[in-house]
Amino acid sequence: MDFELKTLDLAGAAAEKCDALIVVVPEGAKLGKDPLSSLLAHALKAGDFEPKAGKLLQSYRTAGIAAPRLVLAGAGEGAATEVRSAVLAAANAVKAGPVKRVLVCLAAPVRDDAVRACVLAAADASYVYTTTKPKAEGRRIQRLVVGVSDAAAARSAFAEAVAAVRGIETAKEWGNRPPNHATPTHLGQAAKALAKGAIKCQVLGPAEVARLGMGAFMAVAQGSHEALRFIVLRYDGAPKTQAPTVLVGKGITFDTGGISIKPAGEMDEMKFDMCGAASVLGVFRALAELKPSVNVVGLIPSCENMPDGRAVKPGDVVTSMSGQTIEILNTDAEGRLILCDALTYAERFKPAAVIDIATLTGACVIALGGVRSGMFSPDDALAGALQAAGDQAQDLCWRMPLDAEYAEGLKTHFADVANVAGRAGGAITAAKFLQRFSQAYPWAHLDIAGTAWKSGGAKGATGRPVGLLLRYLAAQSVAAPAAKPVRSTRRKSA
């Protein structure tokens, strides 16, 4: 899908040649004397159209309008969420027809977040997965033109939005692929394909991981015939003196639960258990497009969790890369086992911050549903920056507690720590487990189990939280000092 930004008022939009014209109309939009303004004024006066978010009025072959298809889309007060609703509804209304070039005209000056919302909504509505469907028709909308009152003022937000689309659709692609088309080896190949220009890639196999002493990661992988991969991506967009942000993505390409096997119902959706890894790939695809002045490292521990005769058993004790021993009470709590070794590996980069992204717990789905990702951090500054980035990107998260008392359930007589602590507060105790391995740097954990994919008739990966992460990194690009920042205040924890 191609994108273009233009300075256009309603008169200019009416004259623009395209297959479909979508006019996003907030309340109080100023109208002129052109055909489009006249039509809009009459529709408002007659009550045939209301500028409420998501309200549509469609017409065909309208006099004075160059586009054969016209959709007026209400956008309420013009907030980003309302612009998103308007564009989603309108794009869904036109995408089924013979429409390749779409113009979305924002009928009033808007903020940067509304411009981003417009681009992301149009891309989301028109996205089609086809990789393992050779006879399926692909995306019909091939070009999106966004018309705003001042293209120069909106160019930065537009560029970020286009980069975010590239990244989100990369994450969707890998999340949606069946597990036999998205093995750890395939993820390593996908990472290597990104290694151009400022992006470098290294893919480690079982022998290298063994030499690193990643006993927790290897324990999860040992029950599968698919070889594990540990992927290291680097984006160097700033001077070497600037400490990098490290993104750690959970890459369980299929999760049976291991010996603690999952129920058969909806187990196919466990192909989405690598959406944290997919989001890291997506962010690096977006970085290649946006080229911000930041340094970023991506770490992806990737393997399958299978119930083979060699699989790890409940009660086994393994030694992590940090030297801490772990009693594995539940083999279906495997994500934290592969992440903990990656978090230890991250120390070598002397990072400004480390953010891990994982479809980690069903408990987070119960707590927050599919609206917000769970965000855990003992660092107030990092937590605030991620919360703000999610709000701006409409890729929402919610800060969850990390009180020391939640770690009590992880105590065991047979190792330094157990990998589970019972059902109560399961998302928090999982985060407390990871916190033990992230004491050397500012750290945050994003539990995306409820937001990484949708079930039912809309089944498929969402590409979240690529938008949140890219917005966070873009903000760091503006604010980053030349040297490693002083660590901000951290809450006391166990």
Give the sign of the dihedral formed by CA 477, CA 482, CA 483, CA 485: negative
Active site residue 271: no
Cβ contact 286:164 at 8 Å: yes
As a whole number of angstroms, the distance between CA 167 and CA 173 comes to 10
Residue 338 contacts by C-beta under 8 Å, 6 or more apart in sequence? 216, 217, 220, 221, 250, 251, 252, 301, 302, 303
Per the residue annotation, which of 336, 372, 436, 471 is the catalytic one? 336
Per the residue annotation, which of 52, 139, 262, 399 is the catalytic one? 262
Residue 103 contacts by C-beta under 8 Å, 6 or more apart in sequence? 8, 13, 16, 18, 20, 21, 22, 67, 144, 145, 146, 147
Report residue 55 as tokens: 């309200």
CA separation (Å) from 17 to 20, 69, 86, 107? 9, 11, 22, 17
Active site residue 262: yes
As a whole number of angstroms, the distance between CA 326 and CA 309 comes to 21
Report residue 286 as tokens: 């977006």
Report residue 27 as tokens: 């309340």
Cβ neighbourhood burial of 119 (10 Å; 0-12, 13-18, 19+):
buried
> What DSSP state is assigned to residue 394?
T
Report residue 166 as tokens: 């590239």
Residue numbers annotated as active site? 262, 336
